[in-house]
Amino acid sequence: MDSRNWENFLLPYEQAVEELKVKFKTMRSELKKREEYAPIEFVTGRVKRISSILEKAERLDVPMDNLEEGIEDIAGIRIMCQFVEDIRRVAEYIRSRKDLTVLYEKDYITNYKESGYRSFHMIIRYPIQTALEHKVVLAEIQIRTLAMNFWATIEHSLNYKYRGGLPGDMRLRLQKSAQAASVLDSEMSSIREEILAAQKTFEDDANIVSTMLKTINRLYSYHLVAEAISYQEQFNQLFLNRDFDSMKDMLAEIKAIMAAKHVEEPEDEH
């Protein structure tokens, strides 16, 4: 394939990666709003580089006219989760989607690789509509925790540096650090409830501050200037003391005044 053919060949994969990134990022924000917790921390994606496609084709003995079926990760999406438990949930959401088909799954969490690599992989078929055609492409979704991602990213760069021939002691140290990452995941799972509660408190406190400021602003715009100034001063004091409980009470009080005076409330933050 010359460079122009490569460009055309990769176009549908670029589109698939862009679409899938948007879909999973949207899934994250939707779940965060609906359930106050998103099992997705962040999403990345990439189209495999031509050099990596060529190397993989050579390694797996895939002929150049069968790259579309023979190399399953030309389009790659990576979903990072906080906790191991989240991975199953995300996989379940993916299985139930109607805009893609799961071809098969590889569970490198139950059966981690000899290198120490852990992740959950799903190979999917994903239909795309380009300007010229309707096409179904293969894509790989890797779902992993932040600890698994940290390890895999470092190991990937080292492997690249040593071109697959990692020195023995380095391989051993990486296997050990993979175990450490696995212990870290288990530890985090065991305090999951406390972590989630802390994250929720942080979100709630941040939301009450912005709702409060918007509400005080609303008082100004309805010419309730004396009330606005007084509440602003009280808010400043409460914020200094990080007294979010009293802020909630004060917000309820302002809302009652607004209702009595028929002032429209600003929308609550999620």
89-118 residues near ligand 0O2, rule: CB under 6 A = 106, 113, 115, 117
Q: How far apart are CA 242 and CA 25, in angstroms?
A: 32
Alpha carbon dihedral 245, 246, 251, 254, in 10-degree steps, equals 160
Pairing verdict, β 75-81 and 134-145: parallel
Q: What is the closest distance, in whole angstroms, from the C-beta atom of residue 112 to ligand 0O2 in the complex? A: 9
Residue of 32, 52, 184, 214 that binds ligand 0O2 (CB under 6 A): 52
Tokens (6 digits) for 139: 């894509």
Collapsing DSSP to helix, strand or coil, 233 comes out as: helix
Residue of 142, 182, 211, 215 that binds ligand 0O2 (CB under 6 A): 142
Active site residue 140: yes
Count of residues interacting with ligand 0O2 (CB under 6 A)? 21
Alpha carbon dihedral 213, 215, 216, 220, in 10-degree steps, equals 130
Q: Closest CB to ligand 0O2 among 78 and 263?
A: 78
Binding mask 6-35 for ligand 0O2 (x = CB under 6 A): ---------------x--------------
Q: Closest CB to ligand 0O2 among 108 and 222?
A: 108
8 Å CB contact between 66 and 58: no
Q: Closest CB to ligand 0O2 among 14 and 203?
A: 14
Q: How far apart are CA 151 and CA 153, in angstroms?
A: 6
Collapsing DSSP to helix, strand or coil, 96 comes out as: coil
Residues noted as catalytic? 140
User: Which residues contact ligand 0O2 by CB under 6 A?
Assistant: 21, 44-46, 48-49, 52, 56, 73, 76-78, 106, 113, 115, 117, 121, 142, 152, 155-156
